[in-house]
Chain A
Amino acid sequence: MPTAKEHILARVRANKPADRPLPDMPTYDAEVDLDLPLFTEVIGGSKGKVMAMEDLPGYLATNFPDAKVIASTVPEIPGNIDLAAVKDPLELALVDIAVLRGRFAVAENGAIWVTEKEAVIRVLPFITQHLVLVIDGGVVPTMHEAYKSIDIAETGFGVFIAGPSKTADIEQSLVIGAHGPRSLGVVFV
């Protein structure tokens, strides 16, 4: 009896078409100067907000005055939980605000690369009620440059985040804050 693996692979071999070449990946001209303004516009369209580091404390105080649990890996914003001591991701269920680092941003679509290293605990950027990403790697024009500059397998988990969580599953009405964060702030340093 062949295993399922052998069976499937044998069928693929018997049925696959003649070889078709893998295309070369071209490079596209991007206007690098426009990257930051473009990113700001696109992420704004997805309800993310770009601000300066000096405005971040005020932004948090004004928008989330009732926030109690703050997780932060950024010295400018002191957190009040010790992420290194978290044993079970369930302990993060009550996080109101997470301020984490993001590696770099992508101008064309507002995406920000965050790996397990920056997230500390994988679920943190998702379970928090509000998220702020502090980016020190600048902006690249498109996903082509983005994937060129990272090793997606460097850590066990990595994610492009392009806004607060959202849904339009009820009559296509946009609602921000589906299961993940209800807001996204972005700071470039």
Chain B
Amino acid sequence: MQNHASRAATFLKDDARTDWHNNTLWHVRSKRDKLVHGIPEWESIRQLGSDIKDNVLSNLDTYLEQFVAKAEANGVIVHWAVDAKEHNEIVHGILARHKVDKIVKSKSMLTEECHLNEHLEKHGIEVVDTDLGERIIQLKKEPPSHIVMPAIHLKKEEIGELFHEHLGTEKGASDPQYLTEAARGHLREKFLSAKAAITGVNFAVAETGGVVVCTNEGNADMGVHLAPVQIHCMGIEKVIPRAEHLAVFTRLLGRSATGQPITIYTSHHHRPKVGGEMHIVLVDNGRTKQLGREDFRNSLKCIRCGACMNTCPIYRRSGGHSYDHTIPGPIGSILSPGKDLKKNKDLPFASTLCGSCSDVCPVKIDIHEQLYKWRQIVSEEGHLENVKSIPLAGAGAVLSRGGLYNFMGKAARTALKIAPRALIYNQFNAWGQSRELPEVPKNSFKEWYAKNRKDA
């Protein structure tokens, strides 16, 4: 059966690509650091972001009601969807009423989560993803591998090949400028002919009833302002209390996501355009369940910046597809077990628990602690695979007895020296399969300390 490790192994087969992926994401993380260090009050803004989101979660019902009342007063049509199925049916219903057969869509992790494209295509509606990265993976018939950089797993030569096939670009051409220009022309046609546009939502303001959408390309705005019908789909956790709180989140988002001071466009939609129609679809799809889990509800504070992915040593070297979940990386690994523990049981283990994700998270989610807590639940519910549970059960027995631990250490140091490689690098030792064990020190730390402390 495929799991995170086996899918990561597939990704790792291409050394050059893995190195590139690793270095590129680290570069994005470094850009983030540079900008963040230029803001003396950064830590206090993070704290504010976290506190505002805590307040939101504890008053979510009130804020949602306030938001909806305002939005409706603004002339927006608001819909509620309990799950993905209802969400898809609502969106299809709006499109069917307007006899729309072509739509443009800007990036929305929620519609990915709900598999909206497949649903609409089944009903004969052409869906065009307009974010360049999203369009690339849509043509490639792949899911996104990153929430901010959906096509980060692909090399420009592959994109050149894809565009040659679908957009008629020159064979062998792979210059990003040239390819982007081709996509611009191709998508402009789609924008000009779409009768409806769908976007995700970064923030929804309870006080004013408006939604805020952030992009760099301007694709969300091109879609929404040209098409007569605009639809904004959002998870219920996206609501924030007041407009002034946007200052906190817009300061956090761009810097954390890609190391830029703010996204190029921060668009505030409050009322439909003249002669147009504006819809907002509020979706639960498991969020209220997560809200009820004391240890894990913090994951709902996420503003989807992707910083935890860029910094994660496992994500960087295993690729987003290895998680097989709409939201990959550290945040995905704490969201996905709540949705389907059995399927995603290995994701909380796809981490070194180094804590780097929690360090960069702009809303201070305790990501690595939640990963650790999910591990315990996975183990309690008996989902641990044998290969992990046998050594772990042994470790439990050994660690609980000090004497045995000391003896085992000594024995291991001797055994590692004399055991044939086959014993150490066998199929039950997943760790050893792609790693060399460290050279064996002559003394244990305890022995070394006992000998050397006199000198201290």
Given A12-B236, A159-B268, A179-B130, the answer on whether A172 and B24 have CB atoms closer than 8 Å is yes
Q: Which of B60, B81, B151, B187 lies in contact with A12, CB distance below 8 A?
A: B60
Asked if B261 is an interface residue, CB under 8 A from chain A, the answer is: yes
B 59-76 to A, binary, CB cutoff 8 A, 1 in contact else 0 = 111001100100000100
A18 touches which one: B58, B60, B258 (CB < 8 A)?
Answer: B58
Chain B nearest CB: distance from A140 CB in Å? 11
A-B Cβ contacts below 8 A, count: 257
- A126 partner, pick from B184, B218, B241, B273, beta carbons under 8 A: B218
CB <8 Å contact, A153 and B74: yes
Chain A, residues 93-120, CB within 8 Å of chain B (1/0): the string is: 1000000000000101111000000000
Q: Looking at the complex, which one of A17, A26, A46 makes contact with B294 (CB distance below 8 Å)?
A: A17
Q: Which of chain A's residues have a CB closer than 8 A to the CB of B210?
A: 152-153
- Choose one: A18, A25, A156, A159; the contact of B244 (CB below 8 Å): A25
Contact A169 B131 (CB under 8 A): yes
- Using Cβ atoms and an 8 Å threshold, which residues of chain A touch B179? 170
Q: Which residues of A contact B191 (CB under 8 A)?
A: 179
Please report which residues of chain B, range 351-373, place their CB below 8 angstroms from some CB of chain A when the two chains form the complex: none
Asked if residues B60 and A16 are in contact (CB atoms below 8 Å), the reply is: yes
Secondary structure of the B contact surface, majority rule = helix
Q: Are B149 and A169 in contact (CB under 8 A)?
A: yes
A152 and B28 form a contact (CB under 8 A): no
* Whole-angstrom CA separation of A13 from B236 in the bound complex: 13
B28, B130, B179: residue with the most chain A Cβ atoms closer than 10 Å: B179
Q: Hey, what's the 0/1 contact readout for B162-194 against A, CB within 8 Å counting as 1?
A: 000000000000001101110010011001100
Taken together as a complex, chains A and B put the C-alpha atoms of A170 and B179 apart, in Å, by 8
Residues of the A chain whose Cβ atoms lie less than 8 Å from the Cβ of B226: 89-90, 123, 127
Report chain A residues within 8 Å CB of B269. Answer: 156-157
- CB-based nearest B residue for A8: B284
Per-residue 0/1 for B265-291: is the Cβ within 8 Å of any A Cβ (1 yes, 0 no)?
111111111000000001010001101
Q: Is A164 an interface residue (CB 8 A)?
A: yes
Instruction: Assess whether B55 is in contact with A165, with CB atoms less than 8 Å apart.
Output: no
Q: Is the CB of B338 closer than 8 A to any CB of chain A?
A: no
Bound CA span A179–B216, Å: 9
CA distance A160 to B268 in the complex (A): 9
Interface pair A16/B150, CB less than 8 Å apart = no
B261 contacts A110, C-beta separation under 8 Å: yes
- Closest residue to A161 on the B side, CB-wise? B265
CB distance from B282 to the nearest CB of A (A): 7
Picked from A17, A25, A173, the residue with its CB within 8 Å of the CB of B57 is A17
CB neighbours (8 Å) of A126 from chain B are: 218, 221-222, 225, 265
Q: Does A74 contact B (CB under 8 A)?
A: no
User: Which positions 121-164 of chain B face chain A at CB distance < 8 Å?
Assistant: 130-133, 136, 149-152, 155-156, 159
Judged by a CB distance under 8 angstroms, whether B390 is at the interface is no
B219 interface contact, C-beta 8 A: yes
Minimum Cβ distance to chain B for residue A21 (Å): 6
Task: Report the interface size for chain B: residues with CB under 8 A from the other chain.
Answer: 95
Separation of A108 and B250 alpha carbons in the complex (Å): 12
Among candidates B44, B151, B218, B246, residue contacting A179 with C-beta atoms closer than 8 Å: B218
Contacting pair B251 A143 (CB below 8 A): yes
Taking CB atoms and an 8 Å cut-off, the chain B residues in 55-111 that contact chain A are 55, 57-61, 64-65, 68, 74, 79-82, 86
User: Is the CB–CB distance between B52 and A23 below 8 Å?
Assistant: yes
| Chain A: minimal CB distance from B15 (Å) | 17
A84 contacts chain B at the CB level, 8 A cutoff = no
Q: Which of B132, B241, B268 contacts A170 (CB 8 A)?
A: B132
Cross-interface CB contact of B262 among A16, A148, A158, A160, cutoff 8 Å: A160
Determine whether the beta carbon of B270 is less than 8 Å from that of A156: yes
- A25 contact set on B, CB distance < 8 A: 48, 244-245, 247-248
* A20-72 interface (Cβ within 8 A of B): 20-23, 25-26, 28, 42, 45-46
CB B103 to nearest CB in A, in angstroms, measures 16
Cβ of B375 within 8 Å of any chain A Cβ, yes or no, is: no
A19-B55, A161-B265 known; 7 other A-B pairs, CB under 8 Å? A126-B225, A143-B246, A169-B131, A169-B151, A170-B180, A173-B156, A179-B187
Q: Please name 19 pairs of A and B residues whose Cβ atoms are closer than 8 Å in the assembled complex, sorted by A.
A: A8-B284, A9-B64, A9-B65, A13-B61, A21-B51, A22-B241, A25-B244, A123-B222, A147-B244, A156-B270, A161-B264, A162-B262, A167-B216, A169-B131, A170-B132, A172-B152, A177-B180, A178-B217, A181-B218
Chain A residues with CB under 8 Å of chain B are 3-5, 7-9, 11-23, 25-26, 28, 42, 45-46, 89-90, 93, 106, 108-111, 121-123, 126-127, 142-144, 146-148, 151-153, 155-173, 175, 177-181
Interface residues of B (CB under 8 A from A): 24, 27-28, 39, 41, 44, 47-48, 51-52, 54-55, 57-61, 64-65, 68, 74, 79-82, 86, 130-133, 136, 149-152, 155-156, 159, 176-177, 179-181, 184, 187-188, 191-192, 205, 208-210, 216-219, 221-222, 224-226, 236, 241, 243-248, 250-251, 254, 258, 260-273, 282, 284, 288-289, 291-292, 294, 297
